[in-house]
Structure 1
Amino acid sequence: MQYWDPTYKCMSRNEKEDFSKETIGGIIDRMCIKYENNEAIVCRDKNVRYSYRDFKKMYDGIAKGLLKLGIKKGDHLSIWSLNSPEWIALQIATAKIGAVLVCINIDYSKHELEFNLKHSNSKVLFFSKGYNGNNYADSVYSICPELKYCFPGKLSSKALPDMNSVISLDGQDKNLMSLEKLIEMGKDVSDDELLERSKSLECYDTTNIQYTSGTTGNPKAVMSTHYNIINNAIISGKNLDYSEKDRLLVCLPLFHVMGCVLSAIQCLLYGSTIVLVDRFQTTKVLEYLDKEKCTGLNGVPTMFKFLLSHPNFDNFDLSSLRKGMIAGSYCQPDLMNEIMDKMNMKELCIVYGQTEAMGITQTLISDPFDKRITTVGRGMFGTEIKIINPATGKEVPNGVVGELITKTEYIMKGYYKNQEATQKSIDKDGWLHTGDLAIKDEVGYCKIIGRVKEIIIRGGENISATEIEELLVTHVSIKEAAVVGVPDKNLGEEICAFLIIEDKHTLSREDVVSFIQDNLAKYKIPKYIEFVTEFPTTASGKIKKFMLKDYAIEKYNLK
């Protein structure tokens, strides 16, 4: 078996290299030994710093505790928690024993939590205290009132028949098993027993389940393998020249692929340091970037906008910053330039991807500057890309808008318990249909235009919501824009624009209409215009457009 050493030189697109066939536990073990004295995780919130040696001790302790608890290969374990060192350790521990970690959105309600736990057939739930008024313990006890009377590890739940253990990461609830107790339980499990389980695993085994972010209101459970995760993290990290000298601030939620794979796992594969923040908070992120002399930061455009507009932004020293990824939604070229200039992130790249395929395209430092700020780059190593007519399935010429489809080494194993949806997403030839509209140029650089389902069909005319949004945010008084299609009895659909106005600016509906009329065809002018102070977003920063659409339908009685 050939191993891929992450410290090897940065690979060119044309080099033929074998992909890593290791498991997550195996490769992270090697990195922990190689970089044992390096800082692995810094968590200023908890005032803790773990070396790679300490981190291995923690995740091995959890893995042994899980073996003692009776967790078998293929069992599903869920985590519902803000970012923490324990979250990352649990991801490695479950991977090391062949269990599957189900990543639960931190913003889920009790109803959504119950659905995910039941749907995923989870046997164990790890949870923390919650945040922002959402008390996780209240939700858990409401779903499983039996927890108040059962012995730890002996749950028999009417609502969740597969669940037998609930473990408190904070250790604050005396009725529940704590993480420390779990680790204590595993102390009589030998290293050889843990090694034997690890050796029984294969790189194509499922190790993570992540639910699609739900911007359409219909999340599906994406199954990722050791192979998917390791290789996507290696390649995207090579493209940014990561090393043991880097310190990446991780504030993206770990339940999201950008957080747990393209941030946390990626760092561990290169001996880099994870500077962990429990969740995105503008002042805290700027403070930690400064105090910990971070070299990298990953985020979505909205996060960077908040950082740049912080009233005391100039008081923080960001001179150590150099690199990072921006993903999640379209990033305006002006914003890219501002991040590179004001935050010193000259090596910032754009990554386009999906939970179903992780990173698909990525810009490189060596790319022409205009391509770096106006495209999402070219297909990552191990990835093929085609642009097709979504109606016919035929490939379209370069420069023509169509649906981006990809055949990639990083593609999911499928949707858990949803073969029908899997077959709709991945065709018989192995191409993943992303649902994203894109243009590809003659040398392979792609631009994302919008979602196939976000095309508004008004009186037979196809209208791109993204095109209108991109125009609107160029207006001096418009800070952010989101455009959706709403039902119309005569035209099929009409356009509704939601706008956030810059502070101390005023804008009327007539001003907006006039601005669009001067720049776009008349049929692209929104019939409905709503001024709002914020957008509903997922924990990873994506706008929940289905909620905006529902609001407009209700307000204008469009049912």
Structure 2
Amino acid sequence: MVDISPAAAVQRRARYDSAAPALVYEDRTITAGELAATTSRLAAGLAARGLRRGDRVAFLGLNSATLLETLLAASHLGAVFVPVNHRLAADEVRHILTDSGTHTLIAEESHRSLAESILAEVPVRRPVLVDTDPSCPAAPAPPAVWTPLSEVLSTDTTQPEAVPVGEDDLAALMYTSGTTGRPKGVMLTHGNLWWNAVNVDTMVDTRPGDVNLAVAPLFHIGGLNALTLRTLTRGGVVVVRRSFDPEQCLADLVAHRVTSIFAVPAMFAALTRAPGFREADLSALRAVIVAGAAVPPQLIRDYAESHGVLLQQAWGLTETAPFATYLPAARTLEKTGSAGLPMPYTEVCLMVPGGSGVIDEPHVRGEICVRGPNVVAGYWNNQQATREAFDDAGWFHSGDIGYRDEDGHYYVVDRLKDMIISGGENVYPAEVERVLSSFPGVHEVAVVGIPDPKWGETVVAVLTCEPGVEPTLQEVRDFGSDRLARYKLPTRVVLAPELPRNASGKLVKGQVRDIVTHQAGPTDA
């Protein structure tokens, strides 16, 4: 068996170049040797408190060095890492800890009260409180139920050797956002994580000495495994910020000469509005991946024209670890709007929605399906969801609708469940959103369907705009009429200060519909 453990990779790196920087966390530099030593001590302390191979260890908190050290310590022991979305409510965290059967919970002070409210109802046997991070100081005297992380790290015990792990060994349980029901635990093996890195390094201009900026949430597969984990294990430097702040992000890109970054479109859009964006030196950037939501073509053009930076669109899900397709930098402007080509070691096809017939013709829409070594085998303790998502041939049915052009490039149209049927015609919100996002002064667009007695459903656009920009319904319809069929044009426009997104940067369409229901502005038809 070939050992593909990220913990083993970090240990090797420390042996070869112990003094090299590995992490920069909130302006504190952690060397490869320090990271390896902390990871080993944490693994030893957790093992002394009963954590064994296959057990689940959860982390509840913001981006931090401790989050990454927890992942590596879990890998060291052959345990399973469970990163928890720090924005979830108590009931949602309760479900994840219970469903995963979490043995050890490591939490930050900011989430201690939430954790305490559910500890009696979950299987956690070892609650550990982070008290070693100056960026999130712990209370002077937390309740006795908590074991301080400093105590775990100072455990006087023999440090165990890192457990070798292979492709089929479970590495992490990452829970879906739950926008369509209870979150499902996606079973990511070490092979899934490793093959994504192989795909990325084959297609993207990534290098061993990269400086990667991690500002997307690390509990999300994009933030963790698009670039961060591969950079850490391959010998680069990961700059970690606890959360995304546009001005701080821009300063970091310049000061650290960042070469690679993953972010969702809303984050890249926010950067363009940060003071000094036009003057900033972003010349070091070369591996700039944008995914997680539809990418407005104008956003890609803005970066290319202002800085010569090519935003490289990719597509995938937690279940694909995360990338199934990627648009090479050289084709960014030629194929603007495309999610790209299949990754080298991943198969992608289109199937008739609800069926198994493969669509070979170009420009015919179908459900995007994926299989390959980066694709997970299923969902934790949820055979029904696994059967619904994976067919007998091993294809994962993504629920995304797309098409392929004559050159084999894929275009994602929308989520199957978000499709609007108006007067018998299919309307894909993402298609309308892409067109309307180019309206002068519009920042973001969300399109939903609402019930209509005549047409079944009708199209509504919710816009966020620059100050002083208040487009009327007729102005919006006139703008879109050249590129959209009449039945796809909105029959109502609602202006909102911001769009509701989950912590992964995805639009929460249910909350967008709530905005439509509760706001009747002067732009309504």
Provide the rounded CA distance (Å) in 2 between the counterparts of 1:244 and 1:267.
Answer: 7
Work out which of the residue numbers 143, 163, 167 in structure 1 matches 2:124.
Answer: 163
Specify the alignment match of 1:17 in structure 2: none
Instruction: Give distance in 2, aligned partners of 1:391 and 1:241.
Output: 37
What per-residue deviation string (whole Å, max 9, x for no partner) do you get for residues 368-393 of structure 1?
A: 7413x331111112111111221443
| 1:386 has 2:356 as partner | no
Q: Deviations over 1:436-484 (max 9, x none)?
A: 1111123321111111111111222111112211221122142211111
Q: 1:426–1:432: 8 Å Cα contact kept in structure 2?
A: yes
Q: Which residue of 2 aligns with 1:496?
A: 460
Distance 1:391 1:94, change over 3 A: closer
1:189 equivalenced with 2:158 (yes/no):
yes
Structure 2 CA distance for aligned equivalents of residues 485 and 504 of structure 1: 27
Contact 2:247 2:275 in 1 (8 A): no
Task: Please give the alpha-carbon distance, in whole angstroms, between the structure 1 residues aligned to 2:179 and 2:106.
Answer: 25
Q: Does 1:547 align with 2:508?
A: no
1:113 and 2:74 equivalent?
Answer: no
- Residues in 1 aligned to 2:466 and 2:456: alpha-carbon distance in whole angstroms: 33
2:15 equivalent in structure 1: 33
Give the C-alpha shift of residue 421 in structure 1.
0.5
Report what 1:532 is aligned to.
496
What amino acid does structure 2 have at the position aligned with 1:32?
A: A
User: Is the Cα–Cα contact under 8 Å of residues 214 and 223 in structure 2 kept in the other structure?
Assistant: yes
Query: Which SS does the other structure have where 2:462 is aligned?
Result: strand
| AA partner of residue 178 (structure 1) | P
- The correspondence of residues 220-369 of structure 1 with structure 2, limited to 5 A, is 220-314=184-278, 316-346=280-310, 348-357=311-320, 358-367=322-331, 369=333
Name whichever of 21-30 and 202-211 sits farther off. 21-30
SS at match of 1:387: strand
Decide which of 352, 374, 398 is 1:410's aligned counterpart.
374
2:16 maps to 1:23 = no
Provide the secondary structure at the position in 1 that maps to 2:106.
strand
Matched, 1:143 2:110: no
Counterpart for residue 436 of structure 1: 400
**Matches of 1:389 and 1:105 in 2, distance apart?**
34
Asked if the contact 1:25/1:92 (under 8 Å) is kept, the reply is yes
Q: 2: distance between equivalents of 1:339 and 1:223? A: 36
Change (3 A) 1:518 1:349: closer
The SS at the match of 2:22 is strand
| TM-aligned CA deviation for residue 246 of structure 1 | 1.6
User: Which of the residues 460, 467, 471 maps onto 1:507?
Assistant: 471
Query: Could you say which residue in structure 2 is the equivalent of 1:55?
Result: 35
Match of 1:99 among 56, 79, 83: 79
Query: Residue 360 of structure 1: CA displacement?
Result: 0.4
Distance 1:340 1:92 in 2: 37
Is this contact kept in 1: 2:250–2:274, CA < 8 A? no
Change (3 A) 1:515 1:349: closer
Count of aligned positions:
509
The separation in 1 between residues aligned to 2:441 and 2:281, in whole angstroms, is 30
Q: CA deviation at 1:280?
A: 0.5
Query: Which has the higher mean CA deviation after the structures are superposed, 425-434 or 286-295?
Result: 286-295
Query: How far off is 1:228 after superposition?
Result: 0.5
Write the letter of the residue equivalent to 2:352.
Answer: N
Partner Cα distance (1:279, 1:333) in 2: 26
Quick one: structure 1 residues 444 and 519, their matched pair in 2 at CA, closer, same or farther if it must change by over 3 Å?
closer
Q: Distance in 2 between matches of 1:477 and 1:554?
A: 24
- Paired AA for residue 70 in structure 1: G
Letter paired with 2:389: S
* Separation in structure 2 between the aligned mates of residue 364 and residue 34 of structure 1, nearest angstrom: 33
SS state of the match for residue 466, structure 1? helix
For 2:64, which of 80, 84, 88 is the aligned residue? 84
C-alpha distance after superposition, 1:51-93 (max 9, x if no partner): 1111111111111111111111111111111111111111111
Q: Could you say what secondary structure the match of 2:161 adopts?
A: helix
Alpha-carbon contact 1:321-1:343 (below 8 Å) kept: no
Give the distance between the partners of 2:475 and 2:305, measured in 1 at CA: 32
> Residue 28 and residue 466 in structure 1: after superposition, are their counterparts in 2 closer, same or farther (change >3 A)?
same
CA distance 1:269–1:449, change in 2 (3 Å): same
Cα 1:120–1:553, aligned 2, differ >3 Å: closer, same or farther?
farther
Inter-CA distance 217–481: structure 2 relative to 1 (3 Å threshold): farther
Partners of 1:242 and 1:270 within 8 A in 2: no
Shift of 1:321: 2.5
- What secondary structure, in the 3-state scheme, does the structure 1 residue paired with 2:195 have? helix
> Which secondary structure state, in structure 2, belongs to the residue aligned with residue 115 of structure 1?
helix
Amino acid of the residue matched to residue 194 of structure 1? E
1: distance between equivalents of 2:333 and 2:278? 26
Q: Which amino acid aligns with 2:87?
A: D
Call closer, same or farther: CA 1:554–1:438 in 2, change over 3 Å: same
d(CA) in 2 for partners of 1:512, 1:204 = 51
**8 Å contact from structure 2 (residues 9, 234) kept in 1:** no
Displacement after TM superposition at 1:214 (Å): 3.1
**What is the CA RMSD across the aligned residues, in angstroms?**
2.1
Deviation at 1:231, TM superposition (A): 1.7
C-alpha contact 2:206 2:260 (8 A) present in aligned 1:
no
Query: SS in structure 2 opposite 1:313?
Result: coil
Aligned residues of 1:216 and 1:545 also touching (Cα < 8 A): no
Structure 1 gaps, min length 5:
3-20, 131-135, 145-156
Report if aligned partners of 1:35, 1:271 keep a CA contact under 8 Å in 2.
no
- Distance in 1, Cα, partners of 2:429 & 2:436: 11
Distance 1:312 1:285 in 2: 12
- The alpha-carbon deviation at position 367 of structure 1 amounts to 4.2
Kept after mapping to 1: 8 A contact 2:301/2:333: no
- Structure 1 residues 253 and 526: alpha-carbon distance in aligned structure 2, compared to 1, 3 A threshold: same
C-alpha displacement at 1:500, in angstroms?
1.1
Indicate conservation of the 8 Å contact 2:96/2:183, yes or no: no
Question: Quick one: distance in 2 between partners of 1:516 and 1:248?
Answer: 38
